[in-house]
Amino acid sequence: MLLSEFADQLAALERAGRRRTLTCSAGHDFSSNDYLGLARSKELNAAVAGALARGVPVGSGGSRLLRGNHPEHEALESEAAAFFGCETCLFFPSGYAANSALLSTLPQRGDLIIHDELIHASSREGMRLARAPARAAAHNDCDAFADELRAWRKSGGTGRAWLVVESLYSMDGDRAPLPELFSLADAHGAILVVDEAHATGVFGKCGRGLAAEYEGRENLISVRTCGKALGCEGALICASRQLRDFLVNRGRAFIFSTAPSPLIAAAVRAALRLIEADPRRQRRLHELFQFAADCLQPLGARARGSQILPLIIGDSAAAMDIAGAVQRAGFDVRAIRPPTVPDDSARLRISITLNVDRPAIAALAQALGEVLR
């Protein structure tokens, strides 16, 4: 058979409990990243309807360096820079595109990328295409970053170091040691790249994220995903004007991609205004994930002061079986398996959003307890 090798690989994934399939959402939402419940909100629906009424197009018609650049893109970048406190922003169609463009473009030959071992796949894709080599450091271990940096210098490395982390890790719900990492970056002339995907909208004043107090520093680049708490899609790279211009001129993922929809840019602008004007959403989310921690920790879920509560199962097939049972009880909880997470750490990733309430969380805990027993 012409395609037998693909069938064989799919069969191997099936045997290992790692074959993926697409399923539509059903039941109470404990799996999405729509943390503030904005994706289906009447406020964003109204903002999109208003943008259409004033003539904002659905499609861009080309790359931004051709005819695809629209006033909505530029307005979003200007307003986002003011909101987050950085010099400039550059809008990408997804967080994957932003991270892969950033790391494949900015680190130069002779530089070194040091990344947290649990960094997101999109960053790994950028490092795979990068001119500079990459080394992994133990998760959230600033000393490990320092050791890699010193070893590189000792071996003759003379370029710039790029330290790449997530401020809040999407599968574990824990935070990067940002103060220590900035001290390390300052001491060694390094640039810190912080993916704020799961912190934007959730942490910091009015949802500005965990790195907000450091914005405006020359040695910080932050990535702000718009498809999670902001309820839209796309991502913003927040950086100095020089680095933004370099991405516009050398970032192949930016240069050769059709520009994001101007309508989505208008929606993201509205989302930023919403979270700034109404911090009650953020406060309600914090109250909910603290309640969820009280309910789910006795069952073994790890609560680390965030909206992401993983329940480590270990075996992939067992995680799928448990997730399936919980889904049949009416709760949309998904199993996350390797290679998304390390081997033998398959888990239920329980995500708390404003799409659920306390009774739903308590009911999930009861159903999960029954399944685990």
Catalytic residues: 33, 120, 166, 170, 195, 198, 228
Are the C-beta atoms of 342 and 119 separated by less than 8 Å?
Answer: no
3-state helix, strand, coil in the chain (%, to 5): 45, 15, 40
**CB count, 10 Å around CB of 299?**
18
Distance CA(358)–CA(319), nearest Å, equals 25
Are the C-beta atoms of 302 and 173 separated by less than 8 Å?
Answer: yes
Distance CA(202)–CA(36), nearest Å, equals 8
Helix (H, G, I), strand (E, B) or coil at 15: helix
Which sign, positive or negative, has the C-alpha torsion 211, 215, 39, 23?
Answer: negative
**Alpha-carbon distance values, 233 to 99, 104, 306 (Å):** 14, 22, 22
Structure tokens at 193: 């790249």
235 forms beta bridges with: 92, 225
